[in-house]
Amino acid sequence: MCVFLNRVGIKPDHISFLGVLFLIPVIIFFDSAPIIVIASLLLYVCMDGLDGALARNTGTASQAGALLDIVCDQLGMVVVATLYSGYGYADGWVCSCYIAAYLSMIVFAVVQNHYGIQMQFIFRSKYFCYCLYIVIALTPWGNIASLILMAFSIMHIISALQSFLRIRKYFLNGIK
């Protein structure tokens, strides 16, 4: 697949932006066409994995591309969690807490990676956040979103705190 994409001139950044375009049907059809939303999220997730693979395969990986990849990859989680709140599937404050905790965890993980600080286990719940949509849209258990997102938030807050403490220790030890 990567060889084909490279031959036709498709760059990793193109794949990242294409992934973001798959979020448009998610926004438009979130409350009315679950099959379209599920298919769009699946394509978005595929693009999430394909852009980095293409960059590594073609030797075009760069810090600028990695930054674009991180932003595009996290945008889906922000969109879906915001839509949970907007359509009343989860409490707004829970969704806000989830988004803040998740993004804080990701930012600290990026900083740890940049400085070569040993990483702890990081649970990236964004895919579970997308799968939660299937439960909400296709089953009668749609009222569990707030509870699940709050549990994820607590895990991400703990992870972000662990990362913060590791980063702080790194700088207190005078290693720069």
Q: Specify the CATH superfamily of domain 2-172.
A: CDP-alcohol phosphotransferase transmembrane (TM) domain (1.20.120.1760)
pLDDT tens digit sequence for 12-43: 899 999 999 999 999 999 999 999 999 999 99
pLDDT tens digit sequence for 40-95: 999 999 999 998 889 888 888 888 988 999 999 999 999 999 999 999 999 999 99
Nearest to 64 by CA among 117, 13, 10: 13
Nearest to 100 by CA among 70, 69, 67, 74: 74
143-161 in b/e form (b: 16+ CB < 10 A) is: eebbebbbebbebbbebbe
Quick check: 22 and 43 in contact, CB under 8 A?
yes
Quick check: 11 and 60 in contact, CB under 8 A?
yes
Quick check: 149 and 95 in contact, CB under 8 A?
yes
Domain residue extents for the chain: 2-172
pLDDT tens digit sequence for 127-160: 999 999 999 999 888 789 999 999 999 999 999 9
Which residue carries 């998740």 as its tokens? 102
C-alpha atoms less than 13 angstroms from C-alpha of 90 in its C-beta half-sphere: 27
Is pLDDT at 123 greater than 70 in this prediction?
yes
Tokens of 154: 């607590």
C-alpha atoms less than 13 angstroms from C-alpha of 136 in its C-beta half-sphere: 29
Which residue carries 């679950």 as its tokens? 34
